[in-house]
Amino acid sequence: MTTPPPQLSPRLASLLTQGHIEADLSTARTPGAEFYLDPELHELTLARAFAGHWQWIADEAEWGPGWSALPRLLLPGGLAEPLLLTRDSGQTRCLSNVCTHRARPLLDQPTRAPGLRCGYHGRRFDLAGRMQSAPGFEGLEGFPGPEDHLAEQALERAGPWWFVRLAAGPDFARWWGPVARRLAHLPLEQARPAPERSRDFELEAHWALYVENYLEGLHIPFIHPGLNAQLEFQAYGYELLPLGVLQLGEARTPDGAFALPPEHPDQGRSLAAWYFWLFPNLMVNAYPWGISINRIEPLGPRRTLVRFRSYVFDPSRLGQGAGGDLDQVEREDERAVEAVMQGLCSRGHRRARYAPGHDRGVHHFHRLWQAALTRGD
């Protein structure tokens, strides 16, 4: 089930017109501070950019033996959407975790039960979301109707990860396809969660500033001395994807690089990492040891939660190359992004030009963000 995006208010329509991001990178200017600080635009971004695009909701390893339903609160500080992943006869679904009677969440813990029962008034549903019984509603004409069943959301799996989309938006293949094709040779299904290499951290900054920092390598020699020692900066590359950006980091030495199959599109390059960003808030980083994923969660116009998760398929390569000390790189990025937020809030901030060699991904992000905000208007 999908819901239509909210309509633009005249004030927001005017703001977006004034802050238009030109298609021509050579003349375009970055968004003004209001794009980051305006509360109404923040809410519109959540409704259109986040709800209307794919969100990472769980990984397969989170399913316990025999579980039939797994509750999830998607983007707690933003969308805060209560959802249920259910599994029955080998089929996995994503359902609303809200009772269709008085909106009480159905589950707050995983269950092995063969169905769902609301603890408030006893309404029951099967694992496909169909209402089975409702005490007190016996004999009611036209009951149950379609609105009495649990809403089902679009759900897709890639490797060990599950993704959901809450509103109308792009199909999954268009969003994830570039990742699947580039990483087809890697044993993603064998990647195991590494809790000791995973953490959450909060930033006193707007979520888009973290994305912008991720999307350009120009800052690497200046704030990441350790990472810079592993990457051949002059060979750093960018590819624009339909709904994302790929950055290619080349290794300075062969021991930090992938061994690529002959048919791979990057054959002949000594790659240390593929850095994928998928609109609006997912980063998938591939290293010879495994995958790290960053999910960026807005907590408001000035605060962001970053969930950093690692998955290992070759432990022998841990601690090597560009992915050898991710904690240090994350701390360096965190300091930079929070400093930018301070400057963004100053009276001296102006809309800036894009660096033609390294800001292609940032410009692409801004254009996708702008398109998401104005779609349907």
Whether residue 56 is predicted with pLDDT greater than 70 in this model: the reply is yes
- Residue given tokens 């003004």 in the structure block: 32
Mean pLDDT score of the chain: 93
Residue 195, classed as helix, strand or coil, is helix
Confidence of residue 377 (pLDDT cuts 50, 70, 90): low
Q: What kind of fold does domain 172-177+184-374 have according to CATH?
A: Naphthalene 1,2-dioxygenase Alpha Subunit; Chain A, domain 1 (3.90.380)
User: For position 324, what pLDDT does the model report?
Assistant: 80
d(CA 208, CA 162): 23
Q: What kind of fold does domain 55-165 have according to CATH?
A: Rieske Iron-sulfur Protein (2.102.10)
Q: In what order do the strands lie in the sheet with 116-117?
A: 116-117, 124-125, 131-133
Which ranges constitute the DSSP H helices of the chain? 10-18, 34-37, 39-45, 172-182, 207-214, 220-223, 225-228, 326-344, 360-374
Q: Is 62 exposed, middle or buried (0-12, 13-18, 19+ CB in 10 A)?
A: middle
User: For position 2, what pLDDT does the model report?
Assistant: 46
DSSP 231: B
Q: Residue 274: beta bridge partners?
A: 248, 286
d(CA 277, CA 365): 9
- What is the per-residue pLDDT across 88-137, written as a single tens digit (0 to 9) for each? 998 999 999 999 999 999 999 999 999 999 999 999 999 999 999 999 99
Whether residue 245 is predicted with pLDDT greater than 80 in this model: the reply is yes
- What is the per-residue pLDDT across 12-26, written as a single tens digit (0 to 9) for each? 888 888 889 999 999
* Residue 19 CA, distance from chain mean position: 25
- What is the per-residue pLDDT across 159-191, written as a single tens digit (0 to 9) for each? 999 999 999 999 999 999 999 999 999 999 999
User: For position 323, what pLDDT does the model report?
Assistant: 82
Roughly what angle, to the nearest 10 degrees, separates helices 326-344 and 207-214? 120
Domain with CATH 2.102.10.10 in the chain: 55-165
d(CA 211, CA 87): 34
Whether residue 260 is predicted with pLDDT greater than 60 in this model: the reply is yes
Domain with CATH 3.90.380.10 in the chain: 172-177+184-374
More confident residue, 164 or 6: 164
